[in-house]
Chains A and B, each alone.
Chain A
Amino acid sequence: MSHSLSEPLDFHVRRDGAINVVTVRGAADLDDAESFAQRLLQLIEPASATMILDVSDLTFISSAGIGAMLAAASRAKDLSGSVHLVNPRPTLARLFQLTRLDEIIPTHPTVEAARRAVGGS
């Protein structure tokens, strides 16, 4: 069980029009938290200020990663965009409720649902 909590972090970015659909796998733990933050922020640009973050296979995140998502959401908002989360595992969903992250960043069951909420087809 602890293996999935130690899997290396893997990032996959797919551009869908002006939206970045980012799939994150593995654990965003101690030494990955900073690169996680940098990569999220780098993806929020004036031409692509909306991000759909598919965390279905994200197994671990700490407050540093939560802070990174909030920083990305704040930057997106400044650029008239938004950040959306997709399908967090129950352990992460509980963490997001506890920190009230889910009140700042909307959560959707699927990428398609997030895409519809953003206003795409």
Chain B
Amino acid sequence: MKVPAGWGIADTQLTELVVPNDLRSAKQPEDRILAALARSGYDADSTFAIKLALEEAVTNAVKHGNRNDPRKHVVVKYYVDARRVIIMVRDEGPGFRPADVPDCTAEENLERPNGRGIMLMQSYMTKVCYNSTGNEVWMMKLGAECNP
């Protein structure tokens, strides 16, 4: 899947990192993206939101998509400027249908220890979408320049 239409950049502007399927290795793209956010002047709240959404996406990829299989990899693509942050996370799993994930804020699910990642990505990012398989999530957050 290419950068979703209307997100304002071309595929060639994305930086791609491929990391082994474990959470420690997944810190590498996170550290790079956080450094890029700092260089572009993102404030603490935006940085918190983007870090949270990225961690949710990467955790889903490692644990649910790739099922903790150390032979698999996670692909992260990103673009950061002062106007927007775009992040793609892809795993090698069979994918899923986001609509099938139970509502984590429903009364009967409140005490469940998992199932909140997708809701948090949607809450903290401006746009979130998936490829047709469901093993690739694209997220975009507008920067302060686009939030008058």
* B partners with A: yes
Within 8 A of B (CB), among A11-55: 29-31, 33-34
Query: Smallest distance from the beta carbon of B13 to chain A beta carbons, Å?
Result: 22
Task: Let me know if B88 is at the binding interface, CB within 8 A.
Answer: no
Residue of B nearest to A91 (CB): B48
Interface size class of B (residues with CB under 8 A): 20 to 34
Q: How far is the CB of A40 from chain B (nearest CB, A)?
A: 11
Main secondary structure on chain B at its contact with chain A? helix
Evaluate contact between A29 and B51: CB separation under 8 angstroms: yes
Q: Bits for B44-66, please: 1 = Cβ < 8 Å to A, else 0.
A: 11011001100110110000000
Instruction: Decide: B120 and A63 in contact? CB cutoff 8 A.
Output: yes
Bitwise interface map of A from 84 to 121 toward B, beta carbon under 8 Å scored 1, else 0: 00000001000100111001100000000000000000
B56 A5 Cβ-Cβ under 8 A: no
Known contacts: A1-B38, A2-B38. The answer to whether A31 contacts B27 by CB under 8 A is yes
Distance, CA A66 to CA B52, complexed state (A) = 12
CA distance A104 to B109 in the complex (A): 11
Given contacts A2-B38, A66-B116, A74-B111, is CB(A99)–CB(B104) below 8 Å?
yes
Give the secondary structure class of A's interface: helix
Would B44 and A1 count as touching, CB distance under 8 A? yes
Q: Are B123 and A98 within 8 A (Cβ)?
A: yes
Q: How far is the CB of B52 from chain A (nearest CB, A)?
A: 6
B43 & A1 in contact (Cβ 8 Å cutoff): yes
B12 at the interface (CB under 8 A from A): no
Stretch at the interface among B29-37, B78-86, B126-134, B135-143: B29-37
A-B contact pairs, 5 of them (CB 8 A): A5-B47, A63-B56, A63-B114, A73-B111, A99-B119
Show the binding face of A for B, using Cβ within 8 Å: 1-2, 4-6, 29-31, 33-34, 60, 62-64, 66-68, 70-71, 73-74, 91, 95, 98-100, 103-104
